[in-house]
A and B are shown apart, each in its own frame.
Chain A
Amino acid sequence: NAGVTQTPKFRILKIGQSMTLQCAQDMNHNYMYWYRQDPGMGLKLIYYSVGAGITDKGEVPNGYNVSRSTTEDFPLRLELAAPSQTSVYFCASKTGAKYEQYFGPGTRLTVT
């Protein structure tokens, strides 16, 4: 199993541009999450999904959108990128039975 994969690894965007961060998992996990990590701030939940077709907002959803058309994929869309969205983004997944979340390697995004 590849686990949780994320693409791209790095990206630089100009203010106002848009992009999609890709996330896929091959563990047949129902629950998937998007976090952003800023220095000294831990992980903040952006959006999450409890299954295909079901998504909900986390703590910091403004400026982002998600979709979950399949169990495997959970892309995160940034519209009109702003410097405040400069961060490292992590995708994670889990089964319904356990607490443990499995994380991808992250995408480092810079908006200038």
Chain B
Amino acid sequence: TQLLEQSPQFLSIQEGENLTVYCNSSSVFSSLQWYRQEPGEGPVLLVTVVTGGEVKKLKRLTFQFGDARKDSSLHITAAQPGDTGLYLCAGPKTNDYKLSFGAGTTVTVRA
């Protein structure tokens, strides 16, 4: 059983469309991180959200942390083929130095 549930598992959209990826848990997290992983490479951190209700923007990507700090979402506006990849959410377990990862959402943006 995953501590962090991500949905959907797969998402395929046309260039220019918008998409949203969700990360949900029954547990409260002190923070949540979003990573993007491209084929054949390791995950790379996109953002860390710390405060309940927090919204962070990274160009066309908008990240939101739920008020209760149990969920987060990633919204991509006007998706481009370069946004293709595996998006992973992660949160610290009891001790901050260990992370629990969701299973990931594979996003494919077709040109």
Partner-B contacts on A (CB < 8 A): 4, 31, 33, 35, 40-45, 48, 50, 58, 90, 92, 94, 96, 99-101, 103-106
Contacts and interface: CB of A to CB of B under 8 A. Distances in A.
Contacts, number: 51
- Classify the secondary structure of A's interface with B: strand
Interface residues of B, number: 22
Sorted nearest first, the 3 A-B pairs with minimum C-beta distance are A103-B42, A42-B103, A43-B101
Interface of B is mostly: loop
Contact of A42 (B42, B45, B88, B92): B88
Nearest to B91: A99
Contacts of A96: 97
Interface string B17-56: 0000000000000010100000011111100100000000
Interface of B: 2, 9, 31, 33, 40-45, 48, 88, 90, 92, 96-99, 101-104
B97 A94 contact: yes
Contact of A48 (B48, B92, B98): B98
B39 to A, nearest CB: 10
A103 B43 contact: yes
B103 A41 contact: yes
B42 A92 contact: yes
20 contacts: A4-B42, A33-B98, A40-B104, A42-B2, A42-B102, A42-B104, A43-B43, A43-B90, A44-B101, A58-B98, A92-B42, A99-B48, A99-B92, A100-B45, A100-B48, A101-B45, A103-B43, A105-B42, A106-B40, A106-B42
A100 B34 CA distance: 10
A48 B98 CA distance: 8
A99 B96 contact: yes
Given A45-B98, A101-B99, A40 B9 contact: yes
Given A90-B43, A99-B48, 15 more contacts: A31-B97, A35-B101, A40-B103, A43-B90, A43-B101, A45-B99, A50-B97, A58-B98, A94-B97, A96-B97, A99-B33, A99-B96, A99-B99, A100-B33, A105-B42
